[in-house]
Amino acid sequence: MQQKVITQGDSIAAAFGHEPTGIVKVISWMVRATFLDTRVASAAANDVNGNLAAILALLITYLPGLVFTSLLTALFTMRLGALLALFTGLAVIAVSLLVALLVMSALSVKILQVKLPAAVLLRTLAYAQTALIVGAIPLLGGFIGPVARIWSIAASAVAVREAASASAEKATIFVVIGVVIQVTLGMALSVLATRAGLM
């Protein structure tokens, strides 16, 4: 089953060329990781210079939804704070993701029996989040979003399993803990930012 999914991802990623570079490589890796290609997780985890590329992958994933939400908020509230809401949304995602990565790194030895520094986790997990981009689709995002979240958890678990040589069960538990931290903290920060008039 997984091999069939990987093959589909390979056929889509082939459109970006045999050895893409720059942003095209980032997008190619995003596609492959979404289609459960473990080679991406392995290469990303070992690429000590790949932090900026991983951050770019996260921006490509999260920015469309933030832009759409910020514009909708500005339209319906007749406020000109769309840009402020966008930057606040980016800050909320960055802080909640950073905290999740730090906690996951601290728990990695206990759960996975191997130390995964936050930077390695960033590179390992960034490309596997790509399914979340569907949350930016007008009207459909609310319906497809939960399915995309589940798929991103599965893709992230596959990536962690590869990077840590861990069992599927341990990798899934590890990823779910990280998602719970990120989502809970993100919601709490969003509420605080809304009350402060930043979103």
Summarised one tens digit per residue, pLDDT across range 33-85 is 999 898 999 999 999 999 999 999 999 999 888 887 777 666 666 555 667 77
What confidence score (pLDDT) does residue 6 get? 67
In terms of Cβ atoms closer than 10 Å to its own Cβ (0-12, 13-18, 19+), residue 6 is: middle
Summarised one tens digit per residue, pLDDT across range 79-116 is 556 677 778 889 999 999 999 999 999 999 999 999 99
Stated pTM of the model: 0.85
- Integer angstrom CA distances of residue 25 from 71, 115, 120, 124, 181: 30, 28, 18, 15, 29
What confidence score (pLDDT) does residue 73 get? 65
Under 8 Å CB-to-CB from 163, ≥6 apart: which residues?
41, 42, 45, 116, 120, 124
Do the beta carbons of residue 87 and residue 59 sit within 8 Å? no
| Residue boundaries of the structural domains of the chain | 2-195
Do the beta carbons of residue 119 and residue 103 sit within 8 Å? no
